[in-house]
């Protein structure tokens, strides 16, 4: 189950990397790309939360910390997505924090496998 969560978060990270590169190039992206990114992240979050709830995996505290980080990243992602829907400019610090927190969460999840 943790492997499934890691694959989902990894796929979301690849889409997120595409989005952040385009963001820092000053380009936008279709709303569908943001939806796919969010779908991967939300799916990974549900699978990881279920795994932590069930006590699965050998990572113990690493999986719990990863879950907390991914929840924080998801909250930042909601704020960014809401700004995207309103056509507002993104906060550069929030983009960096969102990506950084999610990346640390992914590393911890991978270490827990």
C-alpha 18/C-alpha 61 separation (Å) is 30
What is the pTM for the complete model shown? Answer: 0.93
61-86 vs 31-54: helix crossing angle, rounded to 10 = 160
Host H or E run for residue 82: helix 61-86
2-24 vs 92-112: helix crossing angle, rounded to 10 = 150
User: What local confidence, expressed as pLDDT, does residue 111 receive?
Assistant: 94
User: What is the mean pLDDT of each successive set of 10 residues along the chain, which is 113 residues long?
Assistant: 96 96 88 96 97 79 95 97 91 95 97 91
Query: Among 61, 70, 51, 62, which Cα is nearest to 3's?
Result: 51
C-alpha 76/C-alpha 67 separation (Å) is 14
């Amino acid at each position: 189950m943790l492997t499934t969560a890691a694959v989902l978060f990894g796929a979301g990270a690849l889409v997120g990397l595409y989005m952040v590169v385009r963001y820092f190039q000053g380009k936008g992206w279709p709303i569908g790309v943001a939806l796919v990114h969010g779908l991967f992240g939300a799916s990974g979050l549900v699978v990881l939360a279920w795994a932590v709830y069930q006590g699965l995996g050998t990572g113990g505290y690493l999986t719990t910390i990863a879950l907390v980080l991914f929840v924080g990243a998801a909250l930042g992602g909601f704020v960014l997505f809401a700004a995207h829907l309103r056509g507002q400019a993104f906060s550069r610090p929030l983009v960096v924090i969102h990506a950084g927190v999610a990346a640390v969460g992914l590393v911890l999840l991978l270490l827990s496998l």
